[in-house]
């Protein structure tokens, strides 16, 4: 690859570019999007997000599209894996929306996208109508590519070497120059500048700008012609592989659209047409450009129009349904461990698995052998596995040590500085001090049907989606009754306490299928910013606090199929419910301005049974919390 010139370096000297590759036609778009997308971001050390938006009719629920989203997600990933050249800079995403462009602009905002790239297979006049409509005032730069007739061979997309760049005084001229330069550099090609001066037109206004563009080494030819603009461009295009043009604009004086040239050139040329449009609020790159290129719209008028076009704040129901469709994953999506390893290596992250345990000698050995063997010895997806023991009185610690796993007693971690508390949440909080990974996975050690999916299923969403900070597992939970398993009989506290409370007081979290599941993963940078409740309320507290600190799209859930474990008796479940209610009510102040924790009576009267009667037993159940690590 040729080195960047000083001018190219200045154009690219920004944060790494983020390019959304919009899939409108899955059968034909993938190759050109990947080829052109990589060409545009490679020079800027950027990232491509290969994105498909599923539009859902008003009479259908967004949440019901979770299966369709998963299918398309898997299809895009499979397409990506089949490409002959590496695409380490490309991620995939599938979104749902009532309208295509609503889904696109929401993704642009969520992912901090700089540019949208799309391939247009329809009639050229419809492309111009698109720029007059949905793309009239885009929140980011837009690049639309109309394939030429010579693009019938998919491999031809790797051979855009001769690029024609007509020079026009428009708000999109500098963006057109940047795109042309990056395409030419990626394909070791060259640019021909074409300035067509109509009869009687003064060319002085363009001369200074035209001269500045000659600094790029990729410009090997410059033509100034006098004549009819469209005919000249079409004639010159026959000697080139692609033509780069600015999109139609609207003048301040007449409020009318210009750009009939796009329509005419699109109809006449058979070459690939690249049409660029700069975002509405884009500031001039330098004073010289500001003096030469006229403003697209008055800033106040643009802001007013954008505000008028902005959709109203979505309802909670729509937010939850959309989240459920887009952020519900399946562990099978991440079963290709080699692909998971490549994702990990591309991001340069380390991953730790922390196993909280208390008297789990019957299951802990099988848990460690299964996950360590598959995810550390066979495929080095995990960098460390650590047991966080809560003072077990059986052989839990000895079994883990015999299997080569470091063991820490949570009561001894940070004991001098923080003291010691009992509870699973305390063990999780202190595990942050012990493990070193950028991503931390926790799974329970009482799982009888352990499988590596309990780890990679919750890890996958974080490796696949950078916006995800925290991922929880869900599953079917059979209930053990004697020697029999009752299908879907487990999860009693979830269904009778946690989910009803969240629906009522934190409805955005109502899409979580199992908010209390013991299998989850999170990014250290997020987990260290939130407090941890020390007991059974830890899962509920993490969900609420991470949601409030980030947003709903920072949370994901993954189907782990089925989980078989030791079920708690009803009196223990009652205590769990009591502490979970404390957690939810304690968070009402931030949400609703209601302070409840100073009104708690942290004593729970449990019912005891004895021959001939009943008695009350008062238990002190205070759900304390540790500050952010």
Where is average pLDDT lowest: 112-116, 401-405, 409-413, 619-623? 619-623
Q: Give me the half-sphere count of Cα atoms (radius 13 Å) on the Cβ side of residue 308.
A: 7
Tell me the C-alpha distance between 467 and 489, whole Å: 34
Give the residue among 11, 16, 208 at the shortest CA–CA distance from 112. 16
Cα distance between residue 80 and residue 74, in whole Å = 10
% of the chain residues with pLDDT over 90: 48
Mean pLDDT of 11-27: 79
Edge-to-edge strands of the sheet including 520-523? 328-330, 555-562, 470-476, 520-523, 439-442, 351-357, 384-389, 407-409
pLDDT digits (tens, 9 = 90+) for 214-273: 554 556 677 776 667 788 888 888 888 888 888 877 654 444 445 567 777 877 788 888
Query: What CA dihedral angle connects 316, 54, 131 and 253, to 10 degrees?
Result: -10
Q: Model confidence at 606, in pLDDT bands (50, 70, 90)?
A: confident
**Could you tell me which of 156, 51, 143 has the C-alpha nearest to residue 104?**
51
pLDDT at 379: 97
Beta-strand pair 219-226/532-533: unpaired
Nearest to 437 by CA among 371, 542, 348: 348
Q: Which residues contact residue 111 at a Cβ distance below 8 angstroms, ignoring those fewer than 6 apart? A: 18, 20, 49, 93, 467
DSSP state of 257: B
Single out the residue of 315, 281, 319 nearest to residue 300, CA to CA. Answer: 281
Interatomic CA distance for residues 409 and 533, integer angstroms = 18
Which string of b and e fits 577-588 if b means at least 16 CB within 10 Å? bbbbbbbbbbbe
Of 43-47, 56-60, 417-421, the one with minimum mean pLDDT is 43-47
3-state percent breakdown (helix, strand, coil) of the chain, nearest 5: 45, 20, 35
Q: What are residue 51's DSSP bridge partners?
A: 22, 93
Is the pLDDT higher at 594 or at 260?
Answer: 594
DSSP lists the bridge partners of residue 221 as: 192
- Report yes or no: 174 and 253 within 8 Å, Cβ to Cβ: no
Q: Is 111 left (phi over 0), alpha (psi -120 to 50) or beta?
A: alpha
For position 6, what pLDDT does the model report? Answer: 42
Quick: pLDDT tens for 81-107. 887 665 667 889 999 999 999 999 999
pLDDT tens per residue, range 191-228 = 888 877 665 555 554 555 455 555 545 566 777 766 67
594: its two tokens: 């209601």
Q: Is the pLDDT of residue 11 over 50?
A: no
| 493 or 499, greater pLDDT | 499
436-476: pLDDT as tens digits: 999 999 999 999 999 999 999 999 999 999 899 999 999 98
What DSSP letter does each residue of 162-198 carry, written as one string?
Answer: EEEEE---STTHHHHHHHHHHHHHHTT-EEEEEEEE-
Q: Which of 145, 48, 156, 139 is nearest to 101 (CA)?
A: 139
275-298 average pLDDT score: 51
**Cα 300 from Cα 477, distance rounded (Å):** 57
Looking at the predicted structure, is the pLDDT value of residue 514 above 60? yes
Q: Tell me the pLDDT band of 287, cut-offs 50, 70 and 90.
A: very low
In this structure, of 414-423, 461-470, 478-487, 513-522, the range with the lowest mean pLDDT score is: 478-487
Residues paired with residue 244 on neighbouring β-strands, in sequence order: 274
Most confident segment among 155-164, 299-308, 328-337:
328-337
Res 259: pLDDT: 53
End-to-end distance of the chain based on CA atoms, in angstroms?
Answer: 45
Please give the torsion angle defined by the CA atoms of residues 321, 324, 325 and 327, in that order, rounded to the nearest 10 degrees: 140
pLDDT surpasses 70 at 576: yes
pLDDT for the residue 5: 43
Q: Which residues are bridge partners to 18 per DSSP? A: 47
Nearest to 325 by CA among 82, 561, 106, 544: 106
Mean pLDDT across the stretch 265-290?
A: 68
Q: What angle do CA 314, 321, 525 make, to 5 degrees?
A: 85
Token pair for 99 = 């309208």
Give the per-residue pLDDT at 158: 62
Rounded to the nearest integer, the mean pLDDT of the chain is 83
* Averaged pLDDT for residues 520-532: 98
Report pLDDT for 181: 85
CA angle 377, 382, 387 (to 5 degrees): 95
**Is pLDDT of 416 > 80?**
yes
Taking CA atoms, 472 is separated from 309, 534, 539, 600, 623, in Å, by: 36, 19, 10, 29, 22
Residues in the chain: 629
Asked if residue 259 lies in contact with residue 296, where contact means CB atoms within 8 angstroms, the answer is no
Give the mean model confidence (pLDDT) for residues 287-291.
37
């Amino acid at each position: 690859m040729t080195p960047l010139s000083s001018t190219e370096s200045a154009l690219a000297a920004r944060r790494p570019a983020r390019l959304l590759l919009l899939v409108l036609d899955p059968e034909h778009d993938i190759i050109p999007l990947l080829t052109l997308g990589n060409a545009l971001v490679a020079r800027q050390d950027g990232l491509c997000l290969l994105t498909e938006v599923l539009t859902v009719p008003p009479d259908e629920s967004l949440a019901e599209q979770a299966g369709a989203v998963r299918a398309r997600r898997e299809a895009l990933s499979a397409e990506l894996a089949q490409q002959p050249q590496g695409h380490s800079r490309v991620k995939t995403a599938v979104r749902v929306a009532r309208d295509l462009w609503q889904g696109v602009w929401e993704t642009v905002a969520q992912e901090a996208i700089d540019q949208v790239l799309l391939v247009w297979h329809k009639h050229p006049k419809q492309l111009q109508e698109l720029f007059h409509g949905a793309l009239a005032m885009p929140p980011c730069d837009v690049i639309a590519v109309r394939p030429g007739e010579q693009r019938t061979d998919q491999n031809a997309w790797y051979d855009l070497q001769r690029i024609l760049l007509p020079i026009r005084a428009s708000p999109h001229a500098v963006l057109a120059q940047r795109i042309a330069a990056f395409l030419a550099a990626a394909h070791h090609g060259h640019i021909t500048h074409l300035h067509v001066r109509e009869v009687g037109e003064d060319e002085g206004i363009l001369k200074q700008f035209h001269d500045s563009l000659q600094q790029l080494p990729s410009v090997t030819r410059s033509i100034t012609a006098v004549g009819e603009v469209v005919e000249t461009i079409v004639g010159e295009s026959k000697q080139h592989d692609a033509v780069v043009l600015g999109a139609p604009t609207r003048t301040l004086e007449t409020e009318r659209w210009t750009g009939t040239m796009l329509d005419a050139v699109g109809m006449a040329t058979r070459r690939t047409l690249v049409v660029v449009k700069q975002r509405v609020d884009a500031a001039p790159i330098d004073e010289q450009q500001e003096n030469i290129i006229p403003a697209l719209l008055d800033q106040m008028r643009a802001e007013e129009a954008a505000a008028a076009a902005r959709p109203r704040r979505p309802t909670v129901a729509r937010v939850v349904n959309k989240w459920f469709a887009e952020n519900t994953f399946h562990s099978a999506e991440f079963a290709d461990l080699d692909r998971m390893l490549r994702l990990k290596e591309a991001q340069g992250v380390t991953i730790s698995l922390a196993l909280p345990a208390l008297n789990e000698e019957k299951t802990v050995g099988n848990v460690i052998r299964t996950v360590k063997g598959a995810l550390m010895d066979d495929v080095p997806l995990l960098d460390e596995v650590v047991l966080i023991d809560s003072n077990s009185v059986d052989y839990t610690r000895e079994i883990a040590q015999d299997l080569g796993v470091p063991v820490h007693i949570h009561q001894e971690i940070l004991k001098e500085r923080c003291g010691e508390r009992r509870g699973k949440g305390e063990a999780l909080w202190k595990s942050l001090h012990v493990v070193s990974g950028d991503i931390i996975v926790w799974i329970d050690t009482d799982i009888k049907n352990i499988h590596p999916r309990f780890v990679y299923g919750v890890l996958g969403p974080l490796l696949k989606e950078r916006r995800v900070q925290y991922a929880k597992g869900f599953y079917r939970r059979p209930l053990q009754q004697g020697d029999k398993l009752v299908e879907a009989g487990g999860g009693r506290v979830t269904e009778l306490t946690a989910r009803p409370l969240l629906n009522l007081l934190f409805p955005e979290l109502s899409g979580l299928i199992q908010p209390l599941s013991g299998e989850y993963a999170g990014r250290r940078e997020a987990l260290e910013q939130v407090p941890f409740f020390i007991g059974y309320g830890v899962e509920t507290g993490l969900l609420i606090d991470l949601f409030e600190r980030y947003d709903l799209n920072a949370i994901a859930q993954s189907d782990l199929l089925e989980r078989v474990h030791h079920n708690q008796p009803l009196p223990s479940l009652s205590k769990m419910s009591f502490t979970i209610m404390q957690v939810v009510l304690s968070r009402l102040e931030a949400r609703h301005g209601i302070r409840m924790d100073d009104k708690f009576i942290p004593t729970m009267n449990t019912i005891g049974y004895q021959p001939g009667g009943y008695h009350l037993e008062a238990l002190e159940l205070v759900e304390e919390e540790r500050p952010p690590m």
